[in-house]
């Protein structure tokens, strides 16, 4: 069991990694969107998430630097990160983003699932945006000032993201036979990744008790209510499966994350400290 | 025969639109004109055009395409086919006659000293 200070670091990383990996996935659409206007909409959203991730990684680096040396040693096992820390004596936001390996990432598995096609991308965003909307609303009450400030700023962006993805679910579901079938298929296949959003990790539990974190059980009902009402309006059927994937929050990822990191981290790994 | 009443629509000059604003490509979303108000008190100004499936999407696309650098506080959209336009071919008879009517500008008055902002 990790000490509370380490769990707080992990908690911030859970939120930050969700934002960064979601951003990385959405930005894959840049230049490939089905229509120019939606291409720009998606990259705008990706940049919103990157902004959130940056603030949180900055905070995470501060939290790490304030740990005791035993806690620092136990927190991460990514060689590049521990080497950078040994050299500089501290971590910065870019180190946290670019020098951790997959097992030190704490995003939910849903975020790293492939774009596949427009329907799969929309469904993933719809699940995540709905979660973020209620999560950031609650996080505004965190006793951690940095987290509360990030939540307040991100909430405006997230409100737009949610509107955008909810409308797309309705458009596709209540659209043509083809679009209806495709979004229903995406909904069915990605459903098993939604349970982890509300699965309480050791970090979730500790931060809820400390007054820093969000009560996931409480926002689960809100999430389900919004998801269900949009799904109904979209004339879609909510999947009945109850078996859920898990692992991301504790560093056990699907194969996809490794490929995302390979592309995202390549430059900093090959040319450490490179700027452009 | 002289065609005196030649109805023109703005969309006639778009690359994909036919007369009347109907798209000639079945799967293309309609074209919309976007007007942005940059701050309170100013007029909405034409910012450009975009494609969208309906008005709601047009406003959101306009938000993403034309206001992401803090350009606006209000958006109007109108489907391009609803904008009636003058015919470029009629430019001579419409606009050239005004060329030599310099007296229509109020520039022939003596303005008393002490009047500013004129």
Fold of the CATH domain B10-88: Ubiquitin-like (UB roll) (3.10.20)
Q: Which tens digit of pLDDT belongs to each residue from A157-169?
A: 999 999 999 999 9
Residues 6+ apart with CB under 8 A from A103: A77, A78, A251, A252, A253
User: What ipTM goes with this model?
Assistant: 0.78
CATH of residue A201's domain is 1.20.1260.10
Distance from CA of A67 to the nearest CA of B (A): 39
On whether the CB atoms of residues A206 and A258 are closer than 8 A, the answer is no
A179 touches chain B (CB under 8 A): no
Residue-level pLDDT at A23:
98
A171 touches chain B (CB under 8 A): yes
Low-confidence ranges of chain B (pLDDT < 50): 13-21, 23
* Interface contacts A/B by beta carbons within 8 Å: 28
User: Would the pLDDT of A102 be above 70?
Assistant: yes
Question: Could you list the residue range(s) of the whole structural domain that residue A46 is in?
Answer: 4-270
Instruction: Inspect the interface and report whether the beta carbons of A41 and B60 lie closer than 8 Å.
Output: yes
For residues A168-178, give the mean pLDDT.
Answer: 96
Instruction: Inspect the interface and report whether the beta carbons of B65 and A37 lie closer than 8 Å.
Output: yes
Instruction: Inspect the interface and report whether the beta carbons of B51 and A41 lie closer than 8 Å.
Output: no
Residue A205 lies in a domain: yes
Cβ-nearest to B50 among A37, A44, A164: A37
Q: Which tens digit of pLDDT belongs to each residue from A110-151?
A: 999 999 999 999 999 999 999 999 999 999 999 999 999 999
In angstroms, rounded to a whole number, what is the distance separating the alpha carbons of residues A141 and A148? Answer: 6
B-proximal residues of A, 10-49, CB under 8 Å: 35-38, 40-41, 44
Kindly identify which residue of chain B lies nearest to residue A164, measuring between CA atoms.
B60
Instruction: Inspect the interface and report whether the beta carbons of A167 and B52 lie closer than 8 Å.
Output: no
Q: Which tens digit of pLDDT belongs to each residue from A176-228?
A: 999 999 999 999 999 999 999 999 999 999 999 999 999 999 999 999 999 99
Q: Which tens digit of pLDDT belongs to each residue from A1-17?
A: 789 999 999 999 999 99
pTM, full prediction: 0.87
Measured between beta carbons, the chain B residues lying within 8 angstroms of A164 are 60
Instruction: Inspect the interface and report whether the beta carbons of A44 and B64 lie closer than 8 Å.
Output: yes
Measured between beta carbons, the chain A residues lying within 8 angstroms of B68 are 40, 44
Residue A275 lies in a domain: no
User: Would the pLDDT of A88 be above 90?
Assistant: yes
Q: Are strands B44-51 and B31-37 parallel, antiparallel or unpaired?
A: antiparallel
Residue with tokens 């007007």: B35
In angstroms, rounded to a whole number, what is the distance separating the alpha carbons of residues A192 and A225? Answer: 18
Instruction: Inspect the interface and report whether the beta carbons of B60 and A40 lie closer than 8 Å.
Output: no
Q: How far is CA A261 from CA A97, A137, A258, A264, in A?
A: 9, 29, 5, 5
What is the residue extent of each domain of chain B? 10-88
In angstroms, rounded to a whole number, what is the distance separating the alpha carbons of residues A22 and A112? Answer: 7
pLDDT category at A106 given cuts 50, 70, 90 is very high
Structural domains counted in chain A: 1
């Amino acid at each position: 069991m990790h000490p509370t200070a380490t769990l707080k670091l992990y908690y911030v990383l859970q939120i930050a990694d969700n934002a960064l990996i979601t951003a990385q996935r959405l930005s894959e659409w840049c230049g490939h969107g089905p229509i120019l206007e939606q291409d720009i909409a998606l990259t705008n959203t990706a940049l919103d998430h990157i902004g959130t991730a940056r603030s949180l990684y900055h905070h995470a680096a501060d939290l790490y630097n304030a740990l005791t040396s035993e806690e620092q040693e136990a927190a991460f096992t990514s060689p590049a990160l521990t080497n950078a820390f040994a050299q500089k004596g501290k971590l910065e936001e870019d180190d946290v983003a670019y020098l951790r390996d997959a097992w030190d990432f704490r995003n939910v598995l849903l975020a790293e699932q492939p774009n596949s096609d427009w329907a799969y991308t929309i469904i993933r965003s719809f699940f995540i945006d709905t979660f973020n909307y209620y999560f950031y609303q609650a996080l505004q009450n965190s006793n951690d000032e940095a987290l509360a400030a990030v939540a307040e700023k991100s909430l405006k962006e997230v409100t737009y993201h949610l509107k955008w993805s909810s409308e797309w679910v309705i458009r596709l579901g209540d659209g043509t036979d083809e679009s209806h079938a495709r979004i229903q298929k995406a909904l069915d296949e990605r459903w098993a990744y939604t349970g982890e959003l509300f699965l309480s990790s050791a970090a979730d539990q500790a931060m809820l008790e400390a007054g820093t974190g969000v009560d996931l059980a409480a926002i689960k009902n809100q999430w389900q209510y919004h998801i269900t009402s949009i799904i109904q309006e979209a004339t879609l059927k909510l999947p009945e499966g109850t078996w859920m994937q898990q692992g991301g929050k504790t560093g056990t990822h699907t194969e996809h994350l490794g490929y995302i990191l390979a592309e995202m981290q390549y430059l900093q790994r090959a040319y450490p400290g490179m700027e452009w | 025969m002289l065609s005196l009443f030649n109805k023109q629509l703005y969309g006639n000059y778009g690359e994909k639109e036919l007369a009347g604003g109907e798209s000639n490509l079945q799967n293309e979303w309609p074209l919309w004109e976007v007007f942005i108000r940059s701050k309170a008190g100013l007029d909405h100004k034409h910012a450009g055009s975009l494609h969208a499936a309906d008005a709601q999407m047009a406003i959101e696309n306009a938000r993403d395409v034309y206001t992401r650098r803090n350009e606006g506080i209000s958006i109007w959209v109108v489907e391009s086919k609803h904008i009636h336009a003058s015919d470029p071919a009629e430019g001579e008879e419409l606009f050239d006659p005004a060329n030599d009517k310099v007296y229509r500008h109020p520039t022939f008055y003596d303005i008393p000293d002490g009047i500013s902002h004129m």
